[in-house]
Amino acid sequence: MFSIGLCQYPGCRNLAVSRIDENGSILSNAEVFCLEHDEKAEETRYNVYKYIENHDKIIGLSMSGIHFSDIDLSGKKFYGCDLRNCTFSSIHSEFCRMRMTMLDFSLFSDCNLLNSNMQFTSFSGSTFSHVLFTNSDLVHNNFNGITAQQSSFDDSDLYNSRFIRAKLFNTSIRNCNIKQSSFQEASFENVSFKHSNTREANFSEGVELQND
């Protein structure tokens, strides 16, 4: 798991970003800062982009606050990474794999994350707009407090994932396994659960679900 923590600038409470040396290796004992206080912020961003581009398996990388746009994450494997407060726009990928990775309070727009395999991963408080997770394994994940609009989880396994207090608009959760998933206190507007096993999931009492 990532262990970098907070920016080392005095008084700053932002999350730090990993430092990568000239050989493309993550520095474990380096002085680290958030992008706001990093005097070489552009170089840090570039090094993170290159590290992801050059590695199929990314372990323990902290990338908080970075904007990712128009990149292909197909086949990439993220283990114990910190991607909180990031922005993802026009990301196109298939078969992306994540384990024990944090993407809390991130923004996703116009992204295709098809056939993903993500487990024990957190998207808490994130916003999704025009995002496709279709045909993915999304097991034991945290989607608490997300806002999703015009997005699709169709044909996916959402076993034991949590959508507590999520806000879902014009979003499709059709033909999904939602056994033991929790949608307590979530709000739904034009959300379809057609062919999903809603009786095996947890919803707030009195919620009427759309099954068409």
Under the banding of pLDDT at 50, 70 and 90, the label for residue 169 is very high
210 assigned to some structural domain: no
Nearest to 192 by CA among 178, 212, 175: 212
Euclidean distance between CA atoms 173 and 196, whole angstroms = 7
211 assigned to some structural domain: no
What pLDDT, in 10s, does the model give residues 183-206?
999 999 999 999 999 999 999 988
Q: What is the pLDDT of residue 22?
A: 85
180 assigned to some structural domain: yes
Domain that holds residue 33: 1-64
Q: How far is CA 58 from CA 27, 44, 54, 67, in A?
A: 14, 16, 10, 17
What pLDDT, in 10s, does the model give residues 33-61?
999 999 999 999 999 999 999 999 999 99
75 assigned to some structural domain: no
Q: How many domains does the chain have?
A: 2
CATH of the domain at 110: 2.160.20.80
36 assigned to some structural domain: yes
89 and 187 together in one domain: yes
Return the number of other C-beta atoms located less than 10 Å from residue 203's C-beta.
20
